[in-house]
Amino acid sequence: MKRILATLLACVLLLSCMSFAAAEDKKTLTVWIPQYQFSKAEDAISDQDFWDGVFDPFEVENNCEVKVEIVGWGIYGDTFFTSLVNEDGPDLVYVTDNYDLVKRDLLLGLDPYLTQEQKDNVILWNTAPENANGEKVIVPMDDGVAIGYVNKALLKEAGLDELPVEWDAFIEACKTIQEKTGKRAFLQNWGATSGTSALMLAFWPYYFQAGGKMLNDQGEIDINNEAGLKTVEFLKSLLDAGIFTEDIVTESESVDKFAAGEVAYIVADLNKGNSAFTPAGIDWEYVFSLKGPAGYGARTATDSFAVNKKTVARGNDELAVKALMYITSGAVMDEFHSKIFYLPPFTKDASFVKDEALYALTSAHSEDVYVVEEFSAKKSFEDTLLANIQEMFQGNLEPQEVLTETMDYYNTQLKEN
């Protein structure tokens, strides 16, 4: 009996060792992706299940194991930066702010790994930042423009056929809407607790509409110019006209209020119409953007996918780049955009378009879309600008002081020298 037991135990041990050995043959990739599934529908697939499913065939084909970790948005930028600095960071990572990563050479140069055909397939490839060797380090994805939404019922109630988009006319129309309907004409999230969140919808679009450029000839941020002043004055004129009130500095629910029919116009991401406003029974339509002194202007962001440079030392670099090109392929992204979160196609082999009207509108205005660029200490710059604009809304600063104080503080305290 003892012999049988001993033999069985030995077999179990042997099998365990064999399976360990087999596992060791497999390479392991760690992938970090932020949460994108915000739907509360019961049949909505979770991010984890989606990506695990996506990587199943990849694992079989490449005899590897892919560990996908879904990371919350809260402090995603800080989280992935510190992880990439450390030795055990992910191999493949979704990147939001890339300035520090590129400057500190934490990302793998992709050019040597990709064919020209693969590069040509990425629509925004030319906008990707480069490392010191001139190699592109990310695959940029179009994060989608911030788009305007109009409540048609409120517009009609105010006796307007359509919303005028020129700044001055827009202010007059807002006054009419508030007077005739008793509802708010326009809301923005000036109470967001992060400058980046507030400004991407509530400042940068107007700055672009005023003809502003973010970076000067030296490649440094500079908004203390004519366009900057026009932008801040426009924001102040919204306050002076009673469209914004002092309470705007705590406003962070413009989307919810639009969905509740309490607001006539907001700017939000391009998913909100179909995912939030239609289900709420709002009769709405898109407006590409307001039109400032220099014309239309909407901002877009270019979040991206990148490979950790430390994969070279791990011997994972080729596999990681392969995984990168796999998840950014048209087939996978079409699935992602249809099942998880809609964004415009960012590779030429992708074809899924959720909303033809939106696609037609953004295509017609493709020249009016501007990227919010990366620069040193961007988050703190945006926090400073947000704080100073809030000070203006509270009556403590004039428009020119907002710009001067922001740039002075940035140049003396925030900018890396």
One of 33, 66, 95, 106 touching other proteins (CB under 8 A): 106
391 binds other proteins (CB under 8 A): yes
One of 96, 308, 390, 406 touching other proteins (CB under 8 A): 390
278 binds other proteins (CB under 8 A): no
Alpha helices in 86-225 (DSSP H): 99-103, 116-121, 152-157, 167-181, 195-202, 204-209
One of 39, 118, 225, 380 touching other proteins (CB under 8 A): 380
- Closest separation in Å from C-beta 120 to other proteins: 32
The Cβ-side half-sphere exposure at 169, using a 13 Å CA radius, reads: 10
DSSP string, 310-352: THHHHT-HHHHHHHHHHHTSHHHHHHHHHHT------BTT---
201 binds other proteins (CB under 8 A): no
Q: In this structure, how many other beta carbons lie within 10 angstroms of the beta carbon of residue 190? A: 24
377 binds other proteins (CB under 8 A): yes
What is the spatial distance between Cα 93 and Cα 112, in angstroms, rounded to a whole number? 19
CA 370 to chain centre: 13
396 binds other proteins (CB under 8 A): yes
What is the spatial distance between Cα 154 and Cα 171, in angstroms, rounded to a whole number? 16
260 binds other proteins (CB under 8 A): no
Give how many residues touch other proteins by CB under 8 A.
36
329 binds other proteins (CB under 8 A): no
List the one residue out of 330, 346, 189, 372 whose CA is nearest residue 272.
Answer: 189
> Binding mask 59-88 vs other proteins (x if CB under 8 A, - otherwise)?
----------------x--x--xx--x---
Pairing of strands 146-151, 284-287: antiparallel
413 binds other proteins (CB under 8 A): yes
What is the spatial distance between Cα 375 and Cα 381, in angstroms, rounded to a whole number? 9
388 binds other proteins (CB under 8 A): yes
Stretch in the footprint of other proteins (CB under 8 A) among 40-48, 162-170, 367-375, 384-392: 384-392
Q: Which residues pair with 115 in a beta bridge?
A: none
308 binds other proteins (CB under 8 A): no
One of 19, 46, 216, 250 touching other proteins (CB under 8 A): 250
- Closest separation in Å from C-beta 245 to other proteins: 9
What the block records as the tokens of 244 is 């914004």
110 binds other proteins (CB under 8 A): no
239 binds other proteins (CB under 8 A): no
- Closest separation in Å from C-beta 250 to other proteins: 4
Q: What are phi and psi of 271, to 5 degrees?
A: -90, -20
- Closest separation in Å from C-beta 323 to other proteins: 24
DSSP string, 384-406: HHHHHHHHHHTTS--HHHHHHHH
Q: What is the contact surface with other proteins in residues (CB under 8 A)?
A: 75, 78, 81-82, 85, 100, 104, 106, 191-195, 246-247, 249-250, 376-377, 379-380, 383, 386-388, 390-391, 393-394, 396, 408-409, 412-414, 416
